């Protein structure tokens, strides 16, 4: 028996030796599992996965390959039964692409025996506050974006890998928790409309330094776009990345001119490994924290409404910073 096989066998046996709880129920929804060992993961996740497989759900693992292999071995399932799509839990994908990947799987699930999708994910929150914030934001918005779909999602929060603040957020961003195999309502859950505005949005460190580019009261959208293209060309070595970043920040400038209140201002900061850009106007009417996770007018992009969606697709971090003086959209990304 391989090392992995022995490890799985020991963990499954320990799980079976424990006092059994009620069997897992057939559900739809967004549930978090907080655990601190492989034993706890298997004890809770294996029965949950088996319910979906038995029902004919399209069942997907969105986690590190080591974890996927552990779960497949415990369930005794092949890759054709337990599919893999890391994008769903933002592993190597930004939030709009994670939403798109989930919708594609839902389309596939519509033709399955149950018509339902079941996803076990281990969200990738990264090691920095800005990446943790993107993960927490995504975990919250999907409660509204995918609420009406036949989807059962189990998000695993591993106490060995995640920071205490991320672990604490599990109950705030998931309506349900899986505890000892039983799905229970989370007493700490906050709907996105409450959770997202309360999410801390600290300044980027570079914002306290002199800007590489600054303009207040930009004369026109065309002029500002040209200026932003020139400055990004000087600080973004990769031309393809520079073109992507410019496309998105140009859309943010267009939104400020078309939908905001003048004057429109812009700032760009850059270091050897990161670029930060802000676009500001004096409008105070925008307050939708869910904006930009999917095109505003659906899949038909000819209707427009995709500026903030493009920003979230092309920059790693996008923050909406409303103040009494107006709205600032802050974008930041590491340089390739």
Q: For residue 147, give the CATH number of its domain.
A: 3.40.50
Greater pLDDT, 116 or 290: 116
299 and 229 in a common domain: yes
266 and 193 in a common domain: no
pLDDT surpassing 60 at residue 241: yes
The whole-number pLDDT of residue 295 equals: 78
* Mean pLDDT confidence for 77-85: 88
Token pair of 188, please?
Answer: 């700490």
Q: Is 89 exposed, middle or buried (0-12, 13-18, 19+ CB in 10 A)?
A: buried
Q: For residue 290, give the CATH number of its domain.
A: 3.30.565.10
pLDDT surpassing 50 at residue 113: yes
255 and 149 in a common domain: no
Domain end call among 175, 198, 221: 198
What's the pLDDT tens digit per position in 198-234? 999 999 999 999 999 999 999 999 999 999 999 999 9
| DSSP code for 204 | P
156 and 18 in a common domain: yes
313 and 187 in a common domain: no
155 and 24 in a common domain: yes
287 and 167 in a common domain: no
Whole-angstrom distance, CA of residue 133 vs CA of residue 23 = 34
Domain end call among 141, 176, 198: 198
Number of domains in the chain: 2
What's the pLDDT tens digit per position in 264-300? 999 999 999 999 999 999 987 666 777 888 876 555 5
Place of tokens 């993961």: 41
| DSSP code for 175 | S
The whole-number pLDDT of residue 288 equals: 75
124 and 213 in a common domain: no
The whole-number pLDDT of residue 25 equals: 60
pLDDT surpassing 80 at residue 53: yes
* Mean pLDDT confidence for 93-98: 94
What's the pLDDT tens digit per position in 9-25? 444 344 444 444 444 56
Domain end call among 198, 219, 253: 198
The whole-number pLDDT of residue 294 equals: 84
164 and 227 in a common domain: no
Other Cβ atoms less than 10 A from the Cβ of 239: the count is 9
The whole-number pLDDT of residue 291 equals: 83
Please give the residue range of the domain that contains residue 52.
3-198
Cα dihedral 290, 294, 300, 304 sign: positive
User: 275-299 in b/e burial notation, b at 16+ Cβ within 10 A?
Assistant: bbbbbbbebeebeebebbbbbeeee
- Pairing of the two strands 213-215 and 182-185: unpaired
Whole-angstrom distance, CA of residue 248 vs CA of residue 275 = 13
Q: Which long-range contacts (CB under 8 A, 24 or more apart) does 218-223 make?
A: 218/253, 218/263, 218/264, 218/265, 218/266, 220/257, 221/253, 221/254, 221/257
What does the mean pLDDT of the chain come to? 89
The whole-number pLDDT of residue 79 equals: 79
153 and 32 in a common domain: yes
217 and 153 in a common domain: no
The whole-number pLDDT of residue 77 equals: 80
Cα angle value 175/134/90 (rounded, 5°): 80
What's the pLDDT tens digit per position in 303-326? 456 789 999 999 999 999 988 889
pLDDT surpassing 80 at residue 248: yes
What's the pLDDT tens digit per position in 23-41? 456 678 999 999 999 999 9
pTM listed for this prediction: 0.87
The whole-number pLDDT of residue 1 equals: 37
143 and 222 in a common domain: no
* Mean pLDDT confidence for 140-162: 95
């Amino acid at each position: 028996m391989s090392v992995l096989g022995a490890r799985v066998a020991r963990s499954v046996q320990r799980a079976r030796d424990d006092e059994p709880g009620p069997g897992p129920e057939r559900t739809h929804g967004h549930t978090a599992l907080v655990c601190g060992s492989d034993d706890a993961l298997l004890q809770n996740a294996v029965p949950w996965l088996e319910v979906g497989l038995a029902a004919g759900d399209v069942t997907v693992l969105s986690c590190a390959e080591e974890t996927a292999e552990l779960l497949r071995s415990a369930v005794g399932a092949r890759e054709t039964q337990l599919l893999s799509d890391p994008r769903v839990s933002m592993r190597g994908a930004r939030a709009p692409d994670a939403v798109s990947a989930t919708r594609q799987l839902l389309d596939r699930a519509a033709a399955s025996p149950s018509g339902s999708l079941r996803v076990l994910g281990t969200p990738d929150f990264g090691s920095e506050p800005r990446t943790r914030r993107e993960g927490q934001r995504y975990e919250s918005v999907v409660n509204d974006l995918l609420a009406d779909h036949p989807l059962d999602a189990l998000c695993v929060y591993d106490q060995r890998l995640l920071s205490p603040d991320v672990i604490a957020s599990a109950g705030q961003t998931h309506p349900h928790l899986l505890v000892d195999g039983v799905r229970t309502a989370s007493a700490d859950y906050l709907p996105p409309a409450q959770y997202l505005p309360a999410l801390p949005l600290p300044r980027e460190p570079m914002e306290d330094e002199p800007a590489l580019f600054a303009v207040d009261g930009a004369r026109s959208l065309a002029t500002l776009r040209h200026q932003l293209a020139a400055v990004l060309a000087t600080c973004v070595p990769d031309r393809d990345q520079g073109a992507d970043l410019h496309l998105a920040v140009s859309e943010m400038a267009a939104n400020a001119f078309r939908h905001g209140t003048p004057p429109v201002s812009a700032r760009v900061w850059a270091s050897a490994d990161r670029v930060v850009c802000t676009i500001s106007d004096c409008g105070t009417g925008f307050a939708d924290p869910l904006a930009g996770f999917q095109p505003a007018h659906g899949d038909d992009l000819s209707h427009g409404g995709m500026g903030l969606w493009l920003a979230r697709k092309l920059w790693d971090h996008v923050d909406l910073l409303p103040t009494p003086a107006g709205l600032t959209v802050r974008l930041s990304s590491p340089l390739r």
